[in-house]
Structure 1
Amino acid sequence: MKSQHEFFQGEEIMRVGFVGCGTMGEHMARNIIKEGHELSVFDINVEPLQRLQEDGASIKQRPADVASASEVTIMMVVNDQQVREVITGENGLLEGLQPGGTIIIMSTITPGVCVEMADVVRAAGGDLMEAPVVLSQPAAIAGELGIYLGGAPETCDKAMPVIECMGKNIIRMGDVGTAMAMKLCHNMMTATIAQGVSEMLTLGKKAGLDFDDIITAISYGGGQNFFLDSKAPTIKEGDFVARFSLANMNKDMGLTLVFADTLGVSMPAGAAAKQVASAAMAAGMGPDDFSSFVRINEKLSEV
C-alpha cells in the first residue's frame, strides 16, 4: 500500500468516520482506506471491524468517538430509527461532532427523516448531507457505486474526495431530501423490473423454454434490462446469496409506497410487486438476494 504522502497531490488527507460496516459498508469503508484517508469505524458486530482494522482503520467504542475523530462521518445503517439513534441518541454522533463537522447518511431511509436530522445537526454547528447508493455488493467492493447527493453545494464539495473513493457515477440532486427521494424512485423501479423479469422467467420455464435461450431472446428486443443481464448467471445457478437482500428491498419498497402516498402518487405496479415481496418475506426469503423474486414466483406458480 502506498504511504499517505503519495496520495492526493494537492488534496488534503481527510479524517473520516464510518458507522455501519455491514454487507455494503465494510467494502465502502475499505475503499476509503485504500485511497489514503484516515478512517475510524464503529459497528455493533466486531468481525468487520477487525478486518478493517487489519487494513488500517481505527476501531472506536461509540459513534460519539467516531465523530470526535472525524471531519466527515458516514452512516450506513438500516432504517429511520437507527439513523435517529446513531445521530441523537446516547453516545451518538452529536455528542462528539466537531465544529463544522459533516454527517453523511448513505443508508436508504425516509426523505423527511434526512431533512429532520439535517436541521438538528445544523443547529449543533455541523452539517448533514445524504448520499444513498445504487448497485449492490460487487460495485461496493470495486468502488463503482452510483451515488446520489443531497445537500448544500459546499458540503457536497467538501465530501467529494471521500465520496469518490466509493463510486464512479455521482450526481447531486439538490438539497437534503432530494437524493433520498431519487433513491426510492430508483429502488421501486428496480423491484418492479425484478418482478416483471421473474414472472417472465417463470412463464417461460413452465412453457418448457430453455433458460439460456430465454436470456438470449430477451436481449434481441425491448425487454433487455440490467437486472436480467446481471442476475441471469446467479439465477441459473440457484445462487441467491445476498448481494442486496430481499429484506432491504422490501423495506425500501414500503418506504416508497408511503412516500408516494404523501405526494398523492398512485403506484399500482409497485404495489403489486410489494405484495410479492411480502409473500417472499413470509416464506423466509428475507436474508437472501432480492433476485429471490424468481423463487417466490415459481413457488406461487408451482413450478
Structure 2
Amino acid sequence: MRSNRIGFIGLGIMGKPTAKNLVDAGYDVVVNDVRDDPVAELEDHGAESRETPAEVAEVSDTIITFLPKGEHVRKVALGDDGIVEGADEGQVLIDMSTIGPGMIREVADALADEGIRTIDAPVSGSEQGAREAWMRIMIGGDEHLVEEYREMFEVIGGQVTRVGDTGAGQVAKVCNNMIAAAEVASLSEALVFAEKAGISQEKLVEAIEGGAAQTWALETRAEGMIDGDLEPGFFGSYMYKDLSIAVDDGEEYGAPIPLSSINHELFKSLEEKGRGELDFSAVVTVYEDMAGLDE
C-alpha cells in the first residue's frame, strides 16, 4: 500500500522540482530546507512545511531526502532534531542524494536499529530532467519495499531501475558520473584542440555528431561549452564531490580508476578556481586556461 503523505527534505536545484512534481501528482507533501525561499515557493505550490527534519518525520508516512553531501544526510537523518527523533518504527527513508554506498549503508544501519527502513535512490538527469520528470532513478533496497514505491518513483522519473540491495543505487550513480565526467572532459579536450589548431568548434561538432564520437555530452553540452553558456544543470562542485567518492571507493574496492582519478584532479582545479557553481561542463575552462586561451 503506497504512502500518500511524503516528507521532503532538501529543495535544491533537483529537489525543488521533484517535490513540485509530487504535489502535482496529488501527494500530500511536507517540506523542509535550510533556506526560506524554496520552502515558501513550495508552500505557494501546495505543500506544507515544518521547521525541522524531526517535525517532518512526525507528520509523514515516508521521508525523502535530496541533499548535497553525505554529511548533510547523516545530520538530517541522525543528528539533533533529525529524522530519527521524529520517525516511528516502520517508517521509510528514501535518500535521493549522491553520497556513495558506504555512507548510505552507515545511515541505513543506524536507522534500522530504530526500526526505520531505507531505500537509496540517486538520480541522473539534471535540473531539466527533475522538472520534466524524465530522470533515471537508480535504486538500492529490499525488492518488495521498492515495489511498494514504484508508482511514486515513476512520478519522479521516467526510468526506474532497482540495481540491488541498499547501497547498490549509489554504486550505479557513481559509475554514471564517472562516465559523464569522462565524456565532458574528452569533449573539452577536443574543443580546445580544435581551437588551437585553427578550426571552428561549431564546424567540428557538425562534422562529428552522429558518428563514432556521438555522446550525451556532445548532444547536450557542446553548444553551451562553445558559447560560454555554463549555467548549471549540474554543478561542477557536485561532480567534484562525486568523483571524490569514486576515488575513495575505488581505493576501498581495489578497482582501477585511472581516468576518473585524472578527471577528479581536473574538477578539483575547477573548484579551486572558484567556478564550482557553474555547470560541470565548465571544466572546459580549465583546459582553456592550460592552453592559454584566456590570455
TM-score, normalization by structure 2: 0.96
Q: Distance in 2 between matches of 1:161 and 1:121?
A: 24
Specify the alignment match of 1:258 in structure 2. Answer: 248
Specify the alignment match of 1:126 in structure 2. Answer: 116
Contact 1:72 1:159 in 2 (8 A): no
Which structure 2 residues correspond to residues 162-181 of structure 1 after superposition, within 5 A? 162-181=152-171
Secondary structure at 1:104 match in 2: strand
Specify the alignment match of 1:92 in structure 2. Answer: 82
Paired residue type of 1:21: L
Q: How large is the Cα RMSD of the aligned pairs?
A: 1.2
Specify the alignment match of 2:200 in structure 1. Answer: 210
CA offsets, 1:216-242, max 9 Å, x none? 212142111011111122223211111
- Unaligned runs of at least 5 residues, structure 1: 1-10
Specify the alignment match of 1:63 in structure 2. Answer: 53
What is the deviation of 1:57? 0.5
Specify the alignment match of 2:69 in structure 1. Answer: 79
CA offsets, 1:133-181, max 9 Å, x none? 0120010110111000100012211222221121001100010011101
| 1:230 partnered with 2:220 | yes
1:244 to 234, 243, 247: 234
Paired residue type of 1:82: H
What is the deviation of 1:12? 5.8
1:302 to 283, 292, 295: 292
What is the deviation of 1:84? 0.9
1:110 to 91, 96, 100: 100
Q: Percent sequence identity over matched residues? A: 30
What is the deviation of 1:108? 0.5
TM-score, normalization by structure 1: 0.94
Contact 1:13 1:38 in 2 (8 A): no
Contact 1:64 1:95 in 2 (8 A): yes
Contact 1:102 1:155 in 2 (8 A): no
1:160 to 150, 171, 178: 150
Q: Distance in 1 between matches of 2:69 and 2:2?
A: 32
How many residue pairs match? The answer is 293
Q: Distance in 2 between matches of 1:67 and 1:161?
A: 21
Relative to 1, partners in 2 of residues 1:56 and 1:247: Cα closer, same or farther, differing over 3 Å? same
CA offsets, 1:176-217, max 9 Å, x none? 011101111110111111111100000011112112211121
Paired residue type of 2:271: M
Secondary structure at 1:172 match in 2: strand
Contact 2:31 2:39 in 1 (8 A): yes
Secondary structure at 2:221 match in 1: helix
Secondary structure at 1:67 match in 2: helix
Contact 2:209 2:218 in 1 (8 A): no
Paired residue type of 1:22: G
- Unaligned runs of at least 5 residues, structure 2: none
Secondary structure at 2:278 match in 1: coil
Q: Distance in 1 between matches of 2:2 and 2:179?
A: 39
CA offsets, 1:256-288, max 9 Å, x none? 010011111111111111111111111111111
Specify the alignment match of 2:32 in structure 1. Answer: 42
Q: Distance in 1 between matches of 2:70 and 2:105?
A: 12
Paired residue type of 2:192: T
What is the deviation of 1:13? 6.3
